[in-house]
Each structure stands twice: as C-alpha cells, then as structure tokens.
Amino acid sequence: MTVLTHKFLTKHTTAPFFQIDESEFVTAIDSEIANAKKQIEQIVANEQPPTFENTIEALEYSDEQLDRITSIFFNLNSAETNENIQKMAQEISPKLTEFSNDIVLNEGLFERVKTLHAQKDTLNLTTEQHTLLDKKFKSFSRNGANLSKDKKEILREIDKKLSKLSLTFGENVLAETNKFQLHLTDEKDITGLPNGALEAAKSIAKSQDKDGWIFTLNYPSYIPFMKYADNRELRKQMATAFGSKAFKGDELDNKANVLEIAKLRHQRANLLGYETHAHFVLEERMAKTPEKVISFLNELLEKAKPAAEREFSQLSNFAKKLDGISALQSWDSAYYSEKLKQELFNLDDEKLKPYFKLENVIDGAFTVAAKLFDIHFQQVFDIEVYHKDVKTYEVVDGNGKFVAVFYADFHPRKGKRNGAWMTSYKSQYRKNGTVERPHVSIVCNFTKPTESKPSLLTFNEVTTLFHEFGHALHGMLADTTYPSLSGTSVFWDFVELPSQILENWCYEAEALAIFAKHYETGEVIPMEYIEKIKASATFLEGMATLRQISFGLLDMNWHGIDPTDITDVKAHEKTAFENTRLFPENPKTAMSTAFSHIFQGGYSSGYYSYKWAEVLDADAFEYFKEHGIFSREIASKFATHVLSKGGTEHPMTLYKRFRGSEPKPEALLKRAGLLAE
C-alpha cells in the first residue's frame, strides 16, 4: 500500500518525499476521495439531529489526508514538475473538482448545514465556530446547492472544464519559459552586463556544452539582461520573447484558453445568480463589489498618473540626451531607469549585491522574526525534501516549544515555474486535544551561486524574500482550531498585509545593519548606501503604481463584465490598458496569455488586492515606526490580532483591534511620494 494513504511516520509527520513513488499519486488520491465520501455519507446518514460537532466539525475533518496528499502533489506541480506530473494533474484536477461538487451539491448534507445555520444564534458557538458555520453554509449556497438538478449538472461540467483549462494555461506558460534561450558568443553583444549576470549565463551555456553565454526568460537571467545590456536590439528580442509567451498561434498558445476561462467563469457566475464573476468573487472580499474595486483603482490612478507621466517624460528626455533615443520603448524602460537611478542616486544593484548574500538575508529575516515574535529557526537535515536545493528548518518559540517546519527553495530550474510564492504542506489546527503545527514553504527564483561567487541578491530580490517570508509567518504563527480558517486562509485582499508589511524592514537602517554585510569583508552596508536606498525608494513610483493599477484593471476587464462577445484577446487588452499606457504598443506581445495570477492562480478578480493591502501595510507600519520598528508591544499586538487569527473573524475587525482604527490611505500615498508630507 502506498505511503501516501497513511499517517506519515516521519519527523513532525512531514511529507515523506524520499518514499513517494510519484506514479502512486492518482491511486492514492482516488482512495482518499473514496474515504472522504464515506465520511460524508456517515454525516448525512446520522439519525441524530444535526449539531455543530456531528455535522460542521465532521465535515471540516472529513478530507484531512486527501488535503495533505493534494497539497504535496500540487506543490510539486509548481516547484518540481515533469511531464508525468503534468499528465497526472490533468487527470487528478477534474476528479477533485467533481468531489468538491459532490459535497456542495449533496442535498442531504446541505439540509443539515442549513438547519444549523438557521439556528446559529441559539447554538452557543464561539466566534470561530460561528465563522466556520457561516463559511460552510456559504460554500454550499454560493456554489450551487440551491440550483435545480439540471443546472447542477451544468455547473459540474463548467467546473470540470475550468480545472483542466487553468492547468493547461500554466503548462503552456512554463513550456514557453523553458523553450526560449538567447545564445550569444560575440563579446560585443554582452557589453554593459555585470560580471555576476555573465557568469550565470556562462554557467548555463557550459551546462549545455556550449560556448559563450545563454540568457533565459527566468527572472534571475531576464531581469539583469533588460537592466544592463547595451545592445538595444537584443533587449527588444528578449522583451518580445518574454511578452509573447503563449501568444504565438502555435500549440502553446493561450488565447483560446483565456477566452474560454473568462466565458466559463462568467457563465458559472450567471448560473449562480451573480451578474459577473467579479460580483461572485468579491462578495467574500473586503472590497465587496466590482464598483468598489474600480473606484479604488481609479482613485489611485488619479493620484499616480500625473506623477507617472512626469517620470516617463523625465526618462524619455534622459534616454534622448544619453543615446539619442527618439521614442522610448518598453524594452528601454529597465535599462534607462537603472542608468537614471545611478545618475540621480549614484546607486545600482551591482553596488548593493555584495551586501546581500542569500544566506545572510535568510538569517536576517530569521533575526527580524526573532526580535519581533520571539521565534527561532534551526536548520535541520533529517526532514525529507523534494529537491536537493531545498533547505529545511525547525521553528521554536522562546521557550523551545515547537512552532513549525519551514521549507525554503530558492533557485530556478526546469521543473519550477517563475516567480515567488508561499505555500503550505500542512495547516495548523486543533483536533482531539492535539495542536497540529504547520509545515510552511517559500519558493523563489534567485540567481544560483557560481564558481566564484555565492548567490548575491538584488535589492528587489531581498524585498521579495521578505515578502514571501511575511506570508510564511502568517502560516507559522497561526493559532486556530479549524484548518480551513488557519494561517493564510483569509479574505484575499487581506492576505497580502503580513507579506507586504515585512518588506518595510528592508528599508530601515536598524534592520539592514543585521544582515546587509559584504560577502567578502563582512563590512556592514555603509550608511550612505542605506540613505540612498531610502531616498530611491520612491524613484519612478508613479510609473510602478500605474503598472500595478493597469494589471488590476485588466483583471476587472476580464472578470467584471460579460466577456461573451470578446473574440480578440489583444484588442480587448488594448482597451483595458487605454488609460494606463505610457509605452507604445508592441503588437507581438500580450499580457493576458501569460497572466498566471488570474488565469492559473487564485487572483481572478483579486489582483487589486496588492494595492489594497498596501494601504493596510503602510498604515500598519506607521504604527510600528511610532513605537520603534522592533517594538515587542506592537509586534505582539500584530501577532495576536492578525497573524495568529487567520480567517476566524472579519479582517477589518482584526485590523482595528490591532491598530485601533481603520487604515488611512494617506499613509500609502505619502510613502509612495504621491502626497506631500
């Protein structure tokens, strides 16, 4: 019998990666779906009147082992995939969708839940139990439990198609990322590129038995190329390759997938009685309605656009003066931004990178967590991992009590999608008097060490690491009863608060002094560099804000309208970007066909939440600054009222308990330099 269907007999019951035969995932998941169905049948068949314990709690724990196996499987599909895993995902995903529908469309089960929901005020429930009951009831009522039989069947078909389409979308983006390489052998083509980028490119070429340098669309290779390569034509080639992922009309094209996903989501929302997919999604968000989201984004746009246009004009004039560029193109943006930044602040990533050795930054994040929350990380080597690059840590509190298992996976490879994310292999919860502690992972794509240098991060990568680590703290410091309310299981526009607030420490001298040390000399980053980092924090912030707003508006243009008549992805995008466009349009590129956040991840109708949470995090960090950035008192309030509580109460209730009031948008505008202090 497969190891997957039993309680894991490993340290802290961690995922038994060494013992897993990946070919067993399908049968193991089939087996656990069958077990969970039996438990559901027992709940429905119970002749006792429904109680919170025999219905809601029983339902909450009915798929415990299934959750564990699927989290392992889908995490592997993101971080260490291969053709077999991708094929299995296409088979497994519809089965899980069908199982999920079997639950929410089970009339007998819904009757029990509905009965309890109607009696909720007389059941003497805790706040968390109230939330769980409400959440379970909504999971039925919002997902088809009240539909007629024929409409339930239509819903099942839509959900099955959507689960396969989003997988195919992601597979195409990954295949496109892996497919492209820019192989250069002439030294004149690599002028401007720093030694670190060249060494990494040489290392890729060497691994393929080739001379010269190979650049790829993975961020650690792509971003330095766009920022430093003097050869404008090659920058254009790279930018076009990056921007045309899954937009080439070949077998990896995502245009049809985008249109079908958008239309099926709309059809599903209509079936459930909602005007659009965004109306359906946002009902369970802080923002509540598409109108509120659009108004929020447009308010920001009003503040950011004049600044962005001024910055664009400044950048265009600079490029013209420097190199005679008559019309600035998108592939010029990073290059001339970096040059202008160096001229204005005498600061560039190459000067900073020696102070940001990956291991030091990790230790810095750990030290910040220790100072704030009194938790401590010890690297261990007896926890099984899915790839040799993955590091594992035991996390304990100040009394030595076990808090969590933490996995860290930092470097790009063929089977790993681009970007950075936090995920979980096991949630925190309480059951039968036992507190189950969480297993949390962060996955990033940072430059690998080379023969002569360790992994040195750009400042942007430092903030990325702190961002994902903030999510990880949300998972690790969870202290709830039920797994579906634990850690990051919160409203989507609240989930970015713990991650984004942690980025603020990267700009503070007191925090940088802990970990920003030269990898060769051990010298702490000079104060003048810290001052320049702070001074340059709002450099081109108007353009950066406009870019984020444009993505949020594109998301709402796919999901906040009826997309039935859309036939041309590029033309639709063009309209969506009308008010936020600064650079000339590149007809060969499209954003939507590789916009994994909204077509593969969980951000459909939710991309605005990055800016929404920035309002929260700017306001929350002001509170820290008033009392000292390492104030245990404020950190303790943040842990108690935000990090530990997960989704047990409405986020604004939790935020106000921490802060004493609702967030003030002025804090964000001030920090972004879009409002005079």
Count up the domains in the chain and report the number: 3
Q: Select from 94, 128, 146 the last residue of a domain.
A: 146
Tokens of 626: 């008033």
- Gap between the Cα atoms of 203 and 231, Å rounded: 21
Residue 603: inside a domain = no
What CATH number should be reported for the domain holding residue 492? 1.10.1370.40
- CA distances for 130 relative to 26, 481, 482, 485, angstroms: 36, 12, 12, 11
> Among the options 394, 468, 541, 614, which is catalytic?
468
Average pLDDT of the residues in 142-169: 96
Is 35 strand, coil or helix? helix
CA distance 242 to 235: 10
Amino acid at 378: Q
Reply yes or no on whether 468 is catalytic.
Answer: yes
pLDDT in tens, 26-37: 999 999 999 999
**Helix/strand/coil for 262:** helix
Mean of pLDDT values over 167-173: 97
Q: What average pLDDT does range 619-635 have in this prediction?
A: 97
For residue 288, the 8-state DSSP code is -
641, 591, 584, 580: which is closest to 616 by C-alpha? 641
In the predicted structure, residue 298 carries a pLDDT above the cut 50: yes
pLDDT tens digits for range 561-581: 999 999 999 999 999 999 999
Domain contains 83: yes
**The two structure tokens encoding residue 316:** 């265009």
Q: Alpha-carbon Rg of the chain, whole angstroms?
A: 25
Per residue in 640-672, pLDDT tens?
Answer: 999 999 999 999 999 999 999 999 888 888 888
Residues 140 and 198 in one domain: no
CATH of residue 110's domain is 1.20.1050.40
Say whether both 130 and 198 belong to one domain: no
**Cβ neighbours of residue 151 closer than 8 Å, sequence gap 6 or more:** 144, 271
114 with 197, same domain: the answer is no
**Dist CA 272 CA 281 (whole Å):** 12
| pLDDT number for residue 677 | 44
Where residue 674 falls among pLDDT bands split at 50, 70, 90? confident
Give yes or no: residues 394 and 518 share one domain: yes
Pair 135, 197 in one domain:
no
Decide the pairing of beta strands 434-436 and 391-397.
Answer: unpaired
If we measure between CA atoms, which residue out of 108, 86, 64 comes closest to residue 486?
64
Please choose, from the candidates 7, 17, 11, 9, the residue with its C-alpha nearest in 3D space to the C-alpha of residue 385.
Answer: 17
- How many distinct helices (H) and strands (E) make up the chain? 27, 9
Report the half-sphere exposure of 311 (CA within 13 A, side-chain side): 24
Same domain, 104 and 186: no
Decide if pLDDT at 192 tops 50. yes
The mean pLDDT of 231-246, rounded to a whole number, is 98
Any domain includes 302? no
For tokens 């509580």, what's the residue?
Answer: 645
Q: Are 649 and 601 in contact (CB under 8 A)?
A: no
Amino acid at 307: A
Residues 114 and 211 in one domain: no
Given 98, 123, 146, which residue is the final one in a domain? Answer: 146
Find the farthest-apart pair of alpha carbons in the chain and give their distance in angstroms, rounded.
82
Domain span including residue 214: 180-243
For residue 601, the model assigns a pLDDT of: 84
H-type alpha helices, 63-148: 64-79, 83-104, 107-118, 127-141
Q: Are residues 76 and 142 in the same domain?
A: yes
Q: Are residues 116 and 8 in the same domain?
A: yes
* Same domain, residue pair 373 and 477: yes
Does position 675 have pLDDT exceeding 80, yes or no?
no
Residue 397 is encoded by which pair of tokens?
């509190």
Per-residue confidence (pLDDT) for residue 588, from 0 to 100: 96
pLDDT above 50 for 189: yes
Confirm whether 319 is domain-assigned: no
Domain end residue (candidates: 197, 227, 243):
243
Q: What average pLDDT does range 137-155 have in this prediction?
A: 96
Q: Which residues contact 80 (CB under 8 A, 6 or more apart)?
A: 386, 387, 413, 415, 416
8 Å CB contact between 254 and 169: yes
Angle at CA of residue 540, ends 558 and 421, nearest 5°: 55
Span 492-502, pLDDT tens digits: 899 999 999 99
CB neighbourhood size of 451 (10 A): 8
Burial class (CB in 10 A: 0-12, 13-18, 19+), 452: exposed
Examine the domain organization and report whether 106 and 231 are in the same domain.
no
Does residue 391 lie in a domain region?
yes
Question: Mutual orientation of helices 107-118 and 127-141 as an angle, nearest 10°?
Answer: 140
Which pLDDT belongs to residue 1?
60
Residue 377 shares a structural domain with residue 525: yes
Pair 462, 361: CB distance under 8 Å: yes
- % helix / strand / coil in the chain, to the nearest 5? 60, 5, 30
Is 615 part of a structural domain of the chain? no
Asked if the structure places residue 118 within a domain, the reply is: yes
- Looking at residue 221, its amino acid is S
Asked, for residue 139, whether it belongs to a domain, the answer is yes
Mean pLDDT across the stretch 595-604? 94
User: Which residues on adjacent β-strands are paired with residue 422?
Assistant: 442
Q: What is the mean pLDDT of the chain?
A: 96
